[in-house]
Structure 1
């Protein structure tokens, strides 16, 4: 099996002309029946790495997935592309499962998705081992490793598969796994000298942004206002927050709802289905939401609270922009989140490891250097230069001398400790500096220390941000073992003694800017047309999806619609050149989308817009009304010959034109003979001369169009 067969399958079923980086090498390794470990980021194209080998191999590929939603999603998409696929899990009836097993037995399936529980049921395992299996793919393979961030005990039973199927090759795929996890995956599955493919973790289409957690609701509403009709997820730490935030967004006029593990199963399924089908574009959710959702047109992900670790953060932001189009991420960061998370992980297993991971997450949020560099370095990858697509790169911080501000804060901490033998929390420290008269502060005697009120010219929010920078600079630290109170470090003591200055970032970088997007550039008329057409195609896609009861992206994803909107295909041949349009979808949906594009072009052309190819379409509209050539020419203020030329071009593109009004069968054959003698690229003038001017130009137009149309049909078949 060579790579050209795989490339043909890629074009035929998925409508793509070429593989992404590394996919080709992985596919060849799988086709060679070798054990394979694939580490590829969310949205990087992992599925293609096993779907293409499954399609072109003998037998059925077994795909093990822990996620019922993902199974259903993938199978729907494969079927829409003309691939025979099915899934088996606990949600199906006995009759449904028997029907699918019969398809499996008779080798009518190229891929069968199975949950670990179903696979390891003794009866099914015995049955499966007797079938013709091409290979076994284990998705979300990090679940099998105790070092993985989402370890699942039921996955460890998969180790028995190698004993039952020693001759079958395994493919393990995951989006997040460090070196220890990767090696453990191979060990747990008893892989034979597996080849490891580690793709870049970089998702350059994702914009990274962190903002201070004050006024989150206002910032989120502003963020949404700038992104109308976009789909996204807001991740919250608590169930209560998901519900209250969804209510606030609904009150602000947005179609939003919530999702968390405390909801009934049927309600969670309903919410997830509504999100997948673009009926509810905004979901406020705990991290229980998103696993297994292959929705490629999630345009943004917001973290209302700081995530527990970089793995979780990376996986969650990875749900945005899986189609490769530009997408946004926004993370809100506060001390309160850090305190809450520290308490949570302190009570969990491996708490020292979890605390360490939380600190790395905190460092990412507080950094004043390129965020993508920090994110990638966590996964062992080095970015040679700043990314240019994060808030720090777009708005490098302007520094100022904050030595006096820092000294005031540290002086208050030390004086309270020295004079009163007490420690301060962040809130109390700020209130002392601002000269608050709160009763507990006065009763404790904090109003009598020398630094009381020393920072009353600085707002509470600004003090929070200065303290955050002091933590990041290592001037103060939080005594987690003593009610999360502050203490001054040795570095801080040196600053207090005036041994070196402190530079703070100006607070303008922390404030909510008028836009959370990159500065808007002036949009050209062509770009505006593409935007308008995209919206019309999006509505058409939704209508088709609703009628077929499938997610809109199963019809075509956003990247494909964007390609259509930019290239404006008006024929079947043009549509075949659009990325993501395979043959099955071309037959099923091609004419509807071509019709919508033609209608758009005609309408915009009449409104005065100049669009390439529109003149022929305007002619065709009049031709369909039954007007003669001369009548069309008069109405369009063109020569008759131009109208003949338009109709010939339209006929060549596949439009219904009765050419025998303008050319006889004998003349058609004569032009075909001339092309055979003169060559396929022969022009109108050469054929006119070939017949010594005895064959009219009109006949040559239609004769050439017919010859080219027949040639295209031959190539296609």
Structure 2
């Protein structure tokens, strides 16, 4: 061993190369290593996969004495000891998994100065005999891993960690180093105070994991959805997190029945079985490990290519830490979360069992922040980094569903009215599942017994799937049209804001991610793009990106181009079925790419469009000129105004405006001057050219009260027909 003063930078780099196999440090690592070698206290926040373990393993291998590493995860201790030994670093652990003889051997090596690293659980430090032993053995420093566990403001507070507050009193001259992957600034301050760190080097590495792609999907048929994601990974290893032990077992069994090599991992399993399952996963003998998020996992596996959350995590810290188990090797990995707002009541039920009021309120706040992350159509990476006090410098990260797919605005006033009408007519005494059953016309025993099949709203939404109504309910809760009362089984109630929509005083629009239906996904994976056309489209994208000074993926993702080169869209309608092509991108770039495809097809007349070239648009985007639309269009063509048509037909003006938009878009003829003044038409045309045709809200707001949503809607239909 070398004394601290004799460790040169050259020697540190030699150990880095020879022992750890790296030519250079990752960001922040060298700074931490140098501070520890100099005997300084350290506080380090470094994301999972950022190389925290090297920060204490390397100096421990150089310095006199043993580095004691305190960790809460027995399973992770074993992996880290095995890894250290593999590198030639003398290491051992002391925990309940060892036999008495094994513990005796470790203690003998420890007291004899034979170990560079000794891993301990926090509760062992509090044992009188062991704390006395620590005072007699030569230590180089103590590393507290998962240090957020000592803070009551942290996401995973553990009372056992409070015993570590005695370390400074017991070992006043031994440097202390605290490491964590997840700590807000408030938690950081609390950790430094509780461990009584003296003038520590504070390192907050970036929380950004650029190789991770974040995506959130509405949860519908969760077992089938999880299986689909796993199947798309082509045998790559991954982790699936579920909320309960029963869900873990059910998910693992479902995957096994569908020929996926999967094993469960939770606290209800025998310790030996749990360890065997983890080792099988680490050795790539199984593809998937399914685990409870509450129990956590000590996984030190670098090539995890995906992490799936089948349920809502209880807070952002847990979510960040669990997704951080993916892509620790720096290669691209995927983090998929299946979200349903009902999980908020499920988790909230357990939060309400907490006696400490302050702790309960803090838990609810964190849960609400997690729900907001799922529901907001804002860059996922930006939200994650912002939560931890870090600012992301770009508007588009290119590595989350929001940035790669884009969002679209959905007008859902009529559907929202259907849902609220069912809530109102049933006395606002039922939950979302029951209300959706009424709207979709389900003939359940409960509906029949209560006579709700005779309601006017029964079955009015039967043409749309339940998944649509579930997503709409979540959107209405998010936007404050509804509130959910009660804990575990919340009831839906209409808010004053919801009453404005219900009674036609306000329209309801919301944004959602643009993504193809799952049934289209499988079909598209079976086809391959024409490589020549794909190259042409990529070059067109590159030129467009250079002209706008943006990264190419901002124009269209590779996946969008592959689908164009596979399905050969020829019209705007067909282009809209391509992944990542919404109204805005269609308006900005659609014609250029459609023209390139047409030109290529003219040069290759032998190429035929595939039989399954373009799946039909989801029902919500299909314009349907039914009898009611035609009647409103006919009256408008005769010269009647919007208000006159509404009065004649006994409809709300908003409904008539929707009819006329569809009528105009499909080529119907009306006297626009009777519907809108020349000034309004001119001003609307300018604003739609500026903002595009996808959204009404920015157009109406920019005109500061000159036009209504109904008038803007009619003008949009007219402009779409012209296009």
Q: TM-score, normalised by structure 1?
A: 0.68
Residue 471 in structure 1 maps to residue 477 in structure 2: yes
Q: Deviation string for 1:95-134 (max 9, x for gaps)?
A: 4334333433443322222222333433333233222211
Deviation, structure 1 residue 519: 9.1
User: How far apart, in 2, do the equivalents of 1:45 and 1:482 lie?
Assistant: 40
Deviation, structure 1 residue 374: 1.7
Q: Deviation string for 1:595-636 (max 9, x for gaps)?
A: xxxxxxxxxxxxxxxxxxxxxxxxxxxxxxxxxxxxxxxxxx
Task: Please name the residue that 1:69 is paired with.
Answer: 75
Residue 396 in structure 1 maps to residue 402 in structure 2: no
Distance of aligned partners of 1:442 and 1:95 in 2 relative to their CA distance in 1, 3 Å threshold: closer
Residue 206 in structure 1 maps to residue 212 in structure 2: yes
Bigger Cα displacement from structure 2, 130-139 vs 490-499: 490-499
Contact 2:406 2:514 in 1 (8 A): no
Instruction: State how 1:304-453 maps to structure 2 within 5 Å.
Output: 304-349=310-355, 350-385=359-394, 386-417=396-427, 422-447=428-453, 449-453=455-459
Contact 2:348 2:487 in 1 (8 A): no
Secondary structure at 1:332's aligned position in 2? strand
User: How far apart, in 2, do the equivalents of 1:360 and 1:304 lie?
Assistant: 18
Task: Please name the residue that 2:243 is paired with.
Answer: 237
Deviation, structure 1 residue 415: 4.2
Deviation, structure 1 residue 170: 0.4
User: How far apart, in 1, do the equivalents of 2:447 and 2:109 lie?
Assistant: 74
Deviation, structure 1 residue 326: 0.9
Bigger Cα displacement from structure 2, 53-62 vs 295-304: 53-62
Contact 1:50 1:137 in 2 (8 A): yes
Which protein shows a greater Rg?
1
Instruction: State how 1:266-281 maps to structure 2 within 5 Å.
Output: 266-281=272-287
Distance of aligned partners of 1:391 and 1:5 in 2 relative to their CA distance in 1, 3 Å threshold: same
2:169 to 153, 157, 163: 163
2:40 to 30, 34, 40: 34
User: How far apart, in 2, do the equivalents of 1:477 and 1:78 lie?
Assistant: 53
Bigger Cα displacement from structure 2, 274-283 vs 245-254: 274-283
Task: Please name the residue that 1:549 is paired with.
Answer: none
Deviation, structure 1 residue 377: 1.9
Instruction: State how 1:35-54 maps to structure 2 within 5 Å.
Output: 35-54=41-60
Distance of aligned partners of 1:372 and 1:513 in 2 relative to their CA distance in 1, 3 Å threshold: farther
Distance of aligned partners of 1:354 and 1:120 in 2 relative to their CA distance in 1, 3 Å threshold: closer
Secondary structure at 2:19's aligned position in 1? helix
Contact 2:341 2:371 in 1 (8 A): no
Task: Please name the residue that 1:55 is paired with.
Answer: 61
Contact 1:3 1:24 in 2 (8 A): no
Distance of aligned partners of 1:287 and 1:245 in 2 relative to their CA distance in 1, 3 Å threshold: same
Deviation, structure 1 residue 429: 1.8
Bigger Cα displacement from structure 2, 291-300 vs 42-51: 291-300
User: How far apart, in 1, do the equivalents of 2:513 and 2:176 lie?
Assistant: 53
Secondary structure at 1:8's aligned position in 2? helix
Distance of aligned partners of 1:27 and 1:445 in 2 relative to their CA distance in 1, 3 Å threshold: same
Deviation, structure 1 residue 498: 4.0
Deviation, structure 1 residue 42: 1.1
Distance of aligned partners of 1:115 and 1:502 in 2 relative to their CA distance in 1, 3 Å threshold: same
Task: Please name the residue that 1:6 is paired with.
Answer: 12
Task: Please name the residue that 2:463 is paired with.
Answer: 457
Gaps of 5+ in 2: 1-6, 532-723
Instruction: State how 1:513-528 maps to structure 2 within 5 Å.
Output: 514-515=520-521
2:203 to 181, 197, 207: 197
User: How far apart, in 1, do the equivalents of 2:505 and 2:393 lie?
Assistant: 35
User: Across the two proteins, how many residue pairs are aligned to each other?
Assistant: 521
The one of the two structures with greater contact order (alpha-carbon pairs below 8 A, sep at least 6) is 1
Task: Please name the residue that 1:246 is paired with.
Answer: 252
Task: Please name the residue that 1:494 is paired with.
Answer: 500
Contact 1:226 1:515 in 2 (8 A): no
Instruction: State how 1:484-563 maps to structure 2 within 5 Å.
Output: 484-505=490-511, 509=515, 511-512=517-518, 514-515=520-521
Q: Deviation string for 1:226-274 (max 9, x for gaps)?
A: 2223111111112122112211211111111212211222222222222
Deviation, structure 1 residue 65: 1.6
1:144 to 141, 150, 154: 150
Contact 1:232 1:300 in 2 (8 A): yes
User: How far apart, in 2, do the equivalents of 1:524 and 1:322 lie?
Assistant: 34
Secondary structure at 1:250's aligned position in 2? helix
Contact 1:223 1:515 in 2 (8 A): no
Distance of aligned partners of 1:270 and 1:437 in 2 relative to their CA distance in 1, 3 Å threshold: closer
Deviation, structure 1 residue 522: 8.6
Secondary structure at 2:286's aligned position in 1? coil
Distance of aligned partners of 1:55 and 1:314 in 2 relative to their CA distance in 1, 3 Å threshold: same
Q: Deviation string for 1:325-350 (max 9, x for gaps)?
A: 11111111124433322222222343
Deviation, structure 1 residue 481: 5.9
Bigger Cα displacement from structure 2, 205-214 vs 3-12: 3-12
User: How far apart, in 2, do the equivalents of 1:516 and 1:147 lie?
Assistant: 44
Secondary structure at 1:208's aligned position in 2? strand
Contact 2:345 2:489 in 1 (8 A): no
